[in-house]
Structure 1
Amino acid sequence: MRCYEQRNLNAETLNSRDTCSCKERTHIFFLKTHKTASSTVMNMLFRFGDTRNLTFAFPKNGHFSYPSYFNSKFVDGFSKESKQEFHIMCHHMRFQLSEVENVMPNDTFYFTILRNPVTQMESSFSYNKNQEVFQKSESLEDFLNNTSKYYRSNMSSSYYAKNYIAFDLGFDNNGRESEKHYKLLCQTVEIMFDLVLIVEYFDESLILLKNALCWTFDDVLSIPINSRSNSSKHSLSEKAQEKIKNWSQLDWHMYVYFNKSFWDQVEKFGRKRMDRELGELRRKRSEMAQVCIQGESDPNKMTDKSLSPYQSGIARIIGHNLKPGLNDAEKQFCQKLVTPEIQYTNLLKRKNMTSPMLPPSVSPYIGFT
């Protein structure tokens, strides 16, 4: 039973850390699905582990040999004979539970994140326009209107264009299409994962995650990472949106299923309590942004080029400029808050190899009360 289900939901007291008698969870697996705000969640996990001397399960190269199924042999430093303890695994992979269980401890908390397939596919088209499956189409609408012309199930890049999230979860993106099959796969995901976040309710998702892990508000503070500029986003007609739902039916069924499941969990958590905690989270985030962030920036105009995000396809990925005049503690925290995935991964790898860790007793936060 999750910690938030044990507590008195009518309690009026709201502390930074949950008041229930639970212990902070540090064995965590996050399935980082594509184009689902997962880079923002990953940065949060990086910062949590970075300040607590936790060990990450890093890929030996790339993203655990994605799009191949994950295998424990892809983890840097892992062997069946080794007694190495891994606390957090959160890089992109094609999920295979049995192999993840070879690496992660038995008490690991498993969670992932889903997004409406309509906006997820629009994002995927923008990021992956240079891939074979999208290369020859003039627009996403053109692709949707002519799938028989542009799409072949045996294309090595087919997963970018159909049931992308289902593929990340380890399913066949060109598999059977039936209500019974969809329901079975949804129930399979529900069994494997302790919590499924929903992008469209990101803040509510963070509150449920915070309480399930017995974390603090500070632990789930975040700034959007790897976001596109508005100029590279494209509005879709209702007709195009319906075509996506029919085209990526497995992704759509999973989204509907877990959207309902998500709000069932919110009801158990308590709507009034959710509203109170949302207010506290947003207040702290606003204060943090006022301290740290000067504003969003085109990569060419970044004051600190080391924080520039990776660019892909026809998308324009924005970064963040930090405010000048930060003291050392503020600068250290604020930099990590906006450090993109590739740079932060390399930072943590170097730190694990050569640099002394912060003692767990040292607070990484700078007073966002």
Structure 2
Amino acid sequence: MPNDSFYFSIVRDPGTLGESAFSYFRAAAPAFRNSPSLDAFLASPSRFFRPGIRGNHYARNLQWFDFGLPEPGAPEEIPGILAGLERVFPLVLLAENFDESLVLLRHRLCWPPDSVDLFPHNSRGSAREVSPTQIRQLRAWNSLDWALYSHFNRSFWRHAERFGLRRLRREVAEIRQRRRVLAAKCLRGGGPVPAQAIPDGNLRPFQPPGGGKILGFALKEGLEGEERELCGRLAMPELPYKDLLERRQFGPNNGTAA
């Protein structure tokens, strides 16, 4: 990448991410697959978790792993590791404050307001409530992720204060109003629906084996032209969208034999 490239990422509280990962990666992580329930796993994680086994990176400190960070030899090494990471990623967004994150990101990238119009994807139809006890247990089990999240939560709100909290709240309200208008224009039912209720197969989200049912978006009938294209992009799940971007970047025959 060019030397002046701007890097950003996003983090989520491991107290809720851990429950989501247990559902979404149940089939992929032996530590989760071998546990009868999240409560059983949290009661004795070491009974099910073995480091180094393929797929078990989903089961502990997943965000630390995704950032490629080294295992600290001692707790006092963690602040230095995170300070180094922040120099690479000057803006790290918060999943819990996604709309606020979009505002800060848009201004850092000099994008127009409609560039952050979206429908929130990957919600579950049967997401369970995480109890305060489970949140504490998940943060303790994912202690490196909790340190990572805590660090970037503080840095995020420093960015927000420099931007201006009143200005931030105003722009968040504008994003949400545009989203409501687009949902009324584009979506059958005005919001997310189960995958089996989506007629267009290209708009059905991936359903993880053994995981919760992931909701998607069904378009209204009668949309045409630019309106149909806009609504279709907003409703498109990430895997088909990735394929679309790859075709745009590398051409329609990318990955096929010449």
TM-score computed with the length of structure 2 as normaliser: 0.91
* 2:42 counterpart SS class: helix
* 1:319 counterpart SS class: coil
The aligned runs of 1:30-49 (5 Å cut-off) are none
Tell me the equivalent position of 2:37.
Answer: 139
Tell me the equivalent position of 2:4.
Answer: 107
Q: 1:189 to 1:197 in 2, by over 3 A?
A: same
Report how far residue 177 of structure 1 moved: 6.5
Tell me the equivalent position of 2:115.
Answer: 219
Alpha-carbon distance in 2 for matches of 1:329, 1:149 = 55
* 1:296 counterpart SS class: coil
Check if 1:250 corresponds to 2:144. yes
Report how far residue 354 of structure 1 moved: 4.4
Equivalent AA in structure 2 for residue 170 of structure 1: G
**CA offsets, 1:306-332, max 9 Å, x none?**
211111132211110111221211101
Report how far residue 238 of structure 1 moved: 2.0
Alpha-carbon distance in 2 for matches of 1:346, 1:243 = 38
Report how far residue 280 of structure 1 moved: 1.7
Alpha-carbon distance in 2 for matches of 1:203, 1:322 = 23
Equivalent AA in structure 2 for residue 314 of structure 1: G
Q: Unpaired segments of 5 or more residues in structure 2?
A: 254-258
Check if 1:278 corresponds to 2:176. no
The aligned runs of 1:102-181 (5 Å cut-off) are 104-130=1-27, 131-172=29-70, 175-176=71-72, 178-181=74-77
Equivalent AA in structure 2 for residue 216 of structure 1: P
Alpha-carbon distance in 1 for matches of 2:3, 2:108 = 17
Alpha-carbon distance in 2 for matches of 1:238, 1:177 = 30
Alpha-carbon distance in 2 for matches of 1:329, 1:272 = 34
Tell me the equivalent position of 1:308.
Answer: 204
**CA offsets, 1:274-318, max 9 Å, x none?**
122122222212211111112322111212122111111322111
**CA offsets, 1:195-232, max 9 Å, x none?**
10001111111110010001111001111122221x1x
Tell me the equivalent position of 2:256.
Answer: none
Counterpart of 1:197 (choices 84, 93, 103) is: 93
The aligned runs of 1:23-34 (5 Å cut-off) are none
Alpha-carbon distance in 1 for matches of 2:14, 2:73 = 16
Q: Which has the higher helix share?
A: 2
Instruction: Work out the number of aligned pairs and report it.
Output: 248
Moved over 4 A (4+): none
Report how far residue 178 of structure 1 moved: 4.1
Alpha-carbon distance in 1 for matches of 2:214, 2:31 = 22
Equivalent AA in structure 2 for residue 161 of structure 1: A
Equivalent AA in structure 2 for residue 263 of structure 1: W
**CA offsets, 1:158-180, max 9 Å, x none?**
211110000000024xx336442
Q: Unpaired segments of 5 or more residues in structure 1?
A: 1-103, 356-369
Report how far residue 339 of structure 1 moved: 1.0
Alpha-carbon distance in 1 for matches of 2:52, 2:45 = 14
Tell me the equivalent position of 1:42.
Answer: none
Report how far residue 346 of structure 1 moved: 2.2
TM-score computed with the length of structure 1 as normaliser: 0.64
Contact 1:177 1:249 in 2 (8 A): no
* 1:176 counterpart SS class: coil
Report how far residue 347 of structure 1 moved: 2.5
CA RMSD of aligned residues (A): 1.7
* 2:223 counterpart SS class: coil
Report how far residue 122 of structure 1 moved: 0.5
Check if 1:269 corresponds to 2:163. yes
